[in-house]
């Protein structure tokens, strides 16, 4: 990639490893990183699962959009990891584009994501069972495809390998 992009936004399905890759990239490149879901949890003083279960997904999406907007207008973070649903909504894609970010889709097979979802301690109300998660995965492909850069994550790759490869190709 010829020109160094201003900011990198990582998107992709739940369990693909967006936050981990962003953390490694931030450490390796010395760039500030903000994780959208963590930012929301700090602002709302509630876990994401609690917000969705108590207020509903629609309200969560509004909160997600407001918080993304705040992160983007603050301009401090050079690496932003999104929650898996954020990129699906046009209003979020629009503000990301307005802020001239390079969006990277971590594109892994469903089984890779599901294994991480299944073994993770994180409560993900929108992926309570495999059938539900697979349906979401299949419906979302067309939106993730709209990202600027598609990075194919192979089953045998570690998240460290993924971050290393992204760092080499982008910077």
How buried is 115 (Cβ within 10 angstroms: 0-12 exposed, 13-18 middle, 19+ buried)? middle
Residue 55 in contact with residue 125, Cβ under 8 Å? no
Of 2-41, binders to ligand S3P (CB under 6 A) are 14, 18, 37
- In whole angstroms, the minimum distance from the beta carbon of 92 to ligand S3P comes to 11
Report the distance separating Cα 122 and Cα 49, nearest Å.
Answer: 9
Residue 137 in contact with residue 110, Cβ under 8 Å? yes
- The 72-111 contact track toward ligand S3P, x by CB under 6 A, reads -----------xxx--------------------------
Geometric angle at alpha carbon 109, from 27 and 146, rounded to 5°: 75
- In whole angstroms, the minimum distance from the beta carbon of 3 to ligand S3P comes to 28
- In whole angstroms, the minimum distance from the beta carbon of 61 to ligand S3P comes to 9
The residues of the shown chain that bind ligand S3P, judged by CB under 6 A, are 14, 18, 37, 48, 83-85, 124, 126
């Amino acid at each position: 990639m010829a020109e160094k992009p201003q900011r990198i936004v990582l998107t992709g399905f739940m369990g693909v490893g967006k936050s981990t890759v962003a953390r490694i990239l931030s450490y390796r490149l010395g760039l500030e990183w903000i994780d959208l879901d963590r930012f929301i949890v700090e602002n709302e003083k509630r876990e994401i699962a609690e917000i969705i279960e108590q207020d509903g997904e629609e309200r969560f999406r509004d909160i997600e959009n407001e918080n993304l907007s705040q992160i983007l207008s603050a301009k401090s973070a050079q690496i932003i990891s999104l929650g898996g649903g954020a990129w699906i909504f046009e209003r979020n894609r629009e503000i990301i584009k307005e802020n001239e970010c390079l969006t990277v889709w971590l594109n892994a097979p469903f089984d890779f994501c599901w294994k991480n979802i299944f073994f993770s301690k994180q409560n993900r109300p929108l992926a309570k069972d495999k059938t539900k998660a697979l349906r979401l995965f299949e419906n979302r492909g067309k939106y993730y495809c709209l990202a600027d850069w598609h990075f194919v994550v192979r089953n045998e790759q570690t998240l460290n390998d993924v971050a290393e490869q992204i760092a080499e190709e982008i910077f």
